[in-house]
Amino acid sequence: MPRILHFGIGNFHRAHQAAYIQVADPAWRITGVSLRHATIRDALASQGFGYTLVIRDADAARYERMAVHDEVLVGPEDGAAILDRIADPDVKMITLTVTEKGYHLGADGRLNKTAPLIAHDLAAQLPSTAIGFLARGLRRRADECGPPVNIVSCDNLPDNGRKLAQAIVAFSEWAGLDLASYLDAHVRFPNTMVDRIVPATTDALRAEVADATGLMDAHPVATEAFSEWYIADTMLSPIPDLGGVGVRIVADVAPFELRKLRMLNGAHSLLAYAGVLAGHDYVHQAIRDAQLRDQVAAFWEEAASTLPAASRDGADDYAQALLARFANPGLRHELRQIAMDGSLKLPIRIAPVIAARQARGQTAPAAEGARHAWASFVAAALRSGTAIDDPRADIFAELGKTHRGDEPALISALLDQISG
């Protein structure tokens, strides 16, 4: 039975890649991997690994039963089994949604050898990161003369496939795994772009699913009707018939990737920080705020001007579609969920807009406003003692102590943390 191994079995994967696979070919199964904890494994195992996918538009919802997963492995408990699955010849694709921080990249976009978890994995036979698992698992696959495999990053990173490949090559070199020839001959890392808005699961969603379906679902997922997936045409067979279910297999993902990163993700970040500061909780509330909506519209104009011609031509229509998606009240997408890991996200989503316009002698006041909204959001959290969900939270806390009582100095110091 052909199988996909997926790292990062969170809500986005279960509403996006899994939904495509279930429709494309019911013969394919997915093994999920949770790198940190057993919560999702335990919730899904109690119901045969199935769950309810709730698809909402502005006026209605439909409820679909998902049944494409049949196994979830947990990193701290099942490390050896994860390596076994990577080497399993039935595994034809390995996909990832581990977020930007799951790649452990430095400011240069390459694997950071001194990142604590990477340093751990270089010294340990049972890894803790997706990079460590993949490098060591692929070494075993090579030793067992395993068949070709496609490793597909589905995270919001520019050139995500190339960066993942570079990270695995670097890790394998540092660990003495000698993988280069096997990777060249038997592994492909296509660049991709994924797009679907998927909020966190809440008790209200569980109650809604129980009322609508009669099922007590421990971990349903809600999403919007809109969904896109672009994959560079470099994969090795066999793969599911993804093109037959709407996945775009294209020569170059970059134009679509940049449009999404800058216009959707960039606007999401702007709304997250400015929206919380304005007293809003959800995206649909923030986009209805006339002042915030005007800020987003100005940002979209700036971002669109930096896109390549292939995606710039349709940018106005894309922005109008985003406006409708953001305004969907059925999603209840929490601004604080989007606000997580801002120090990693803004250099990818916002900084390139500023840099591209500066290179042409243009200003980017709306994009600069997004950076300042982030800094003000962090400063407000430091003042109130609110937890900051960011890998640099300890650094921010020290800056807060250093610049206590001097807001302009604190804002400036925070902005330095997301400058190139």
- Both 229 and 210 in one domain: the answer is yes
pLDDT-derived band at 420, boundaries 50, 70, 90: low
Q: Domain ends where: 229, 250, 271?
A: 250
Same domain assignment for residues 154 and 215 = yes
One domain, residues 13 and 73: yes
Clarify whether residues 119 and 260 are in a common domain.
no
Q: Mean of the per-residue pLDDT values for the chain?
A: 97
Q: What's the average model confidence in pLDDT over 72-78?
A: 98
The pLDDT of residue 310 = 86
Domain end point (choices 224, 250, 276): 250
The closest of 194, 148, 193 to 19, measured between CA atoms, is 194
Rounded CA-CA distance 406/376 in Å is 13
The proportion of the chain whose per-residue pLDDT surpasses 90, expressed as a percent, equals 96
pLDDT digits (tens, 9 = 90+) for 194-246: 999 999 999 999 999 999 999 999 999 999 999 999 999 999 989 999 999 99
- Based on the domain organization, do 283 and 384 belong to the same domain? yes
Residues 126 and 238 grouped into a single domain: yes
Of 199, 218, 250, the one marking the end of a domain is 250
CB 414 within 8 A of CB 396: yes
What average pLDDT does the segment 67-90 reach? 98
Asked whether residue 313 falls in the same domain as residue 235, the answer is no
Average the pLDDT over 158-171 and give the result: 98
Residues 300-320 have pLDDT tens digits of 999 999 999 988 889 999 999
Predicted pLDDT at 58: 80
Which spans in 329-419 are helix H? 335-339, 342-349, 351-359, 365-384, 393-402, 407-416
Residue 155 shares a structural domain with residue 275 = no
Strands, E assignment, 35-173:
51-56, 61-66, 69-74, 91-96, 149-153
Residue 65, CA atoms < 13 Å, CB-side half-sphere: 12
Same domain, 167 and 277: no
- The number of folded domains in the chain is 2
Domain that holds residue 138: 3-250
According to the model, what pLDDT value does residue 34 have? Answer: 98
Do 187 and 272 have their domain in common? no
On whether both 265 and 356 belong to a single domain, the answer is yes
Higher pLDDT pick, 72 / 1: 72
Output the domain CATH number for residue 212.
Answer: 3.40.50.720
The span from the CA of 107 to the CA of 84, in Å, is: 33
| Cα gap 20→221, rounded to integer Å | 15
Q: Is the pLDDT of residue 170 over 80?
A: yes
Determine the average pLDDT of the residues in 320-342: 96
How far is Cα 99 from Cα 256, in angstroms, rounded to an integer?
19
From residue 90, give the alpha-carbon distance in Å to each of 23, 133, 141, 275, 300.
20, 18, 11, 46, 44
Instruction: State the CATH number of the domain containing residue 386.
Output: 1.10.1040.10
Question: Is pLDDT at 256 greater than 90 in this prediction?
Answer: yes
Q: Are residues 64 and 86 in the same domain?
A: yes
Strand partners, 94: 5, 151
